[in-house]
Amino acid sequence: MNSRTDTRTDTRTASRTDTHTTPRTDTHTTPRTDTHTTPRADVRTGARVAFVAAPLLVFAYGVIRIIDGFDGSRGPGLAWTTGHLAFMVALVLFVQIFWRLRALAGRDALSTVSAVAGLAGIATLLAQFGIDIAVGFTAADHAGMSVLFSQVKSVPGMSLVVYDGGPFLFYLAQLALVGQLAAKRLVKAWVPVLMLANLAVPFASKDLIPVGALFLLVAFLPFAGRPRARAAVAAA
């Protein structure tokens, strides 16, 4: 009698344990991991791609610009349009880059102001390059482009905002954000140095834009790596 009672008790206990404990683990824990981590991982992956793709597109713009000048003038034509489109795509990628750098800097007031200034600079450069493309499509030759550009720049405030002043916000924001990260020892000191070199070389000659783009690419490589790789660079 005792053995039968023990057997039934063991069987009932085992069946209760199997039916009530196992499903809870499968139904409640697995979906949380899938729904909450994937979007964040996608954003970080997109940012890593932008840190590499943007400098390469700037490099492409610089090279195409040099090729476009082989005949003694730049634009209008395929090279003029293609080069400008490459740089405009790079500008769009910089929106994500600025916001990612702001996040890495701690989302404080200074990094937020720097990022917003960078976005304003992007807007002015998109306007500038959009005008350049429109002028290239409208004019029959380079002389015609010069006439149209003179008309555009004669509009009050256009030259200051779109051509002379506004674009500097884009370049200064890059240096400001990377400088903040270096000050917080989140990147090595050579990163803002390369960023400064990238900004300086085009002032010597616009034909050096591809060289500056390579400086930019190397400066952005620590941000393009995975989190562990970025931590190793910062600690090196």
Instruction: Give the pLDDT confidence of 28-57 residue by residue, as tens digits.
Output: 444 444 444 444 555 567 788 999 999 999
Residues 6+ apart with CB under 8 A from 233: 187, 188, 222, 225
pLDDT of residue 132 exceeding 90: yes
Is residue 101 in some structural domain?
yes
Q: What is the pLDDT of residues 211-236, one digit of tens each?
A: 999 999 999 999 987 554 444 344 44
Of 229, 127, 105, nearest to 175 by C-alpha is 105
What does the block give as tokens for 10? Answer: 């063991």
Q: What CA–CA distance (Å, rounded) separates 4 from 139?
A: 100
Q: Which domain holds residue 217?
A: 46-235
In the chain, the number of structural domains is 1
**pTM, entire model:** 0.78
63 found inside a domain? yes
Q: Does 37 reside within a domain? A: no
DSSP 195-223: HHHHHHHHHH-GGGHHHHHHHHHHHHHHH
Mean pLDDT of 85-97: 97
Q: Please report the pLDDT score of residue 38 as a whole number.
A: 47
